[in-house]
Homo-oligomer: A and B are copies of this chain.
């Protein structure tokens, strides 16, 4: 059967990360692939209690259809949390609940992108943001990025070269895949640039709460004077990903467009999931819970960095992220990390080759390490296995 698919289908490829997840399901594999939080930290008992509470008190409402915008008490909590942590000035009407921040990215494409528009992104950038935006027929412009964020002169050069630029997509805190964090100065500068060129900034912030050292920085949105900056967030990393609850935050008229689009896409998010999270936030201390996660991930990061410094070749470059789930490794130019992965899988250890994080360019000597989902005692062993395979690649 010759199916007549839409043209966009030819540009959509299987996610390398998710295909890899299938390979690494065997329990003997030490996987630094994926971006999974540690399931042993999920507050299972508290979720059970919150769920029972919601079903006992509001079962009919929790299982029924509800509004596209989302559950009002949860939206209010999110607005207040962002205001206190990120220097924004949101209220519930600035927030729409989404199926994880992944849906916030997809809907952003649907709200803003026409075929041929350009998305300006960090280089490298989040793999699944590339897939989400690409399905709207955009092209990508990689903007040179250093340890403080996009290089602003390069960003401005790109905006002049591509008048069809619609979106600047950035992850200012503990970026995926590099783990890098933007400086305060660059945050202000990108906000200014977005106003000057009337371009939307999507400030993706799935990891911001997971800081292990240094001071929390205010958001790019806190420097917004025009309403051009839209923020995403998620409960996946500070609570659990299984509920698929995230959000998009922005000026009210922009959020109203997201609401219209989401109505046609899937009507609304899971009612009971939103109410259970709201009940959890009311009954329990999420800050204490996040502190517990921070402690565990900080130690895992430290062990990973220490092991890389010991087991990887001396010419290896790697980031030392102040938070988040990932660090980024740049090996000697001669090494192709897809080939490295193939050999590593034979030794039951996995990571994500870096190439897929570059929409246009080729950096085949890079790789991403996720340190949040491997028990502390196994991290050094896993890194040592990769180090051993690397000896073959001399």
Contacts and interface: CB of A to CB of B under 8 A. Distances in A.
A131 B262 CA distance: 10
Given A51-B48, A128-B264, A272 B243 contact: yes
Q: How many copies does the complex hold?
A: 2
A131 B264 contact: yes
A102 B265 contact: yes
Contacts of A264: 12, 15, 102, 106, 128, 131-132, 134-135
A259 to B, nearest CB: 8
B267 A128 contact: yes
A273 interface: yes
A32 to B, nearest CB: 16
Interface stretch (A3-11, A291-299, A323-331, A377-385): A3-11
A43 B65 CA distance: 15
A325 to B, nearest CB: 12
A248 interface: no
Nearest to A42: B63
Contact of A266 (B60, B99, B254): B99
B114 A64 contact: no
A18 B242 contact: no
B110 A242 contact: no
A87 interface: no
Interface in A90-137: 98-100, 102-103, 106, 110-114, 117, 128, 131-132, 134-136
A83 interface: no
A355 interface: no
A200 to B, nearest CB: 8
A202 interface: no
Nearest to A136: B6
A390 B95 CA distance: 41
A372 interface: no
Contact of A267 (B7, B102, B240, B254): B102
Given A8-B110, A106-B265, 5 more contacts: A4-B112, A48-B59, A99-B99, A131-B263, A244-B267
